[in-house]
Amino acid sequence: MKRDQSGQKVTVACADKEVSVYSHCAYCKHCEGVQIRKRVISTPQKEKISGISKGTSEDDDLLNSQMMFNTLIRDGDSIVCSDDENQGYTSMYSY
């Protein structure tokens, strides 16, 4: 992850360009989590989306999980991405 001077903008290399972790990784199906030192924390919103489709989570839970993702980014060292084929951003909300 690359942070700007203010620490407010955080980007990563994705496919062939730099993208914001807040507007891309947070909503990408390839994002598996955030590495914080030696630990990898799973992407909270993926768990909640699966719960919504099963009827066990509410919309508010998804919003809270996205806020938790932002907290993980603040403390994180890198994004764990499963995009081995270099497809780039793919929305986790598409069915």
Residue with tokens 């909640």: 48
Q: What is the pLDDT of residue 61?
A: 79
Give yes or no for a contact between 40 and 33, defined as CB atoms under 8 angstroms apart: yes
The CA distance from 84 to 94, in Å, is 19
Q: What pLDDT is recorded for position 17?
A: 92
This prediction has a pTM of 0.79
**For residues 51 and 23, what is the distance between their CA atoms, to the nearest angstrom?**
22
Alpha carbons 44 and 41: distance in angstroms, whole number: 8
pLDDT in tens, 11-39: 999 998 999 998 899 889 999 999 999 99
- The DSSP output letter for 73 is H
Query: Of 4-13, 46-55, 66-75, which range is least confident?
Result: 46-55
Q: What is the pLDDT of residue 84?
A: 92
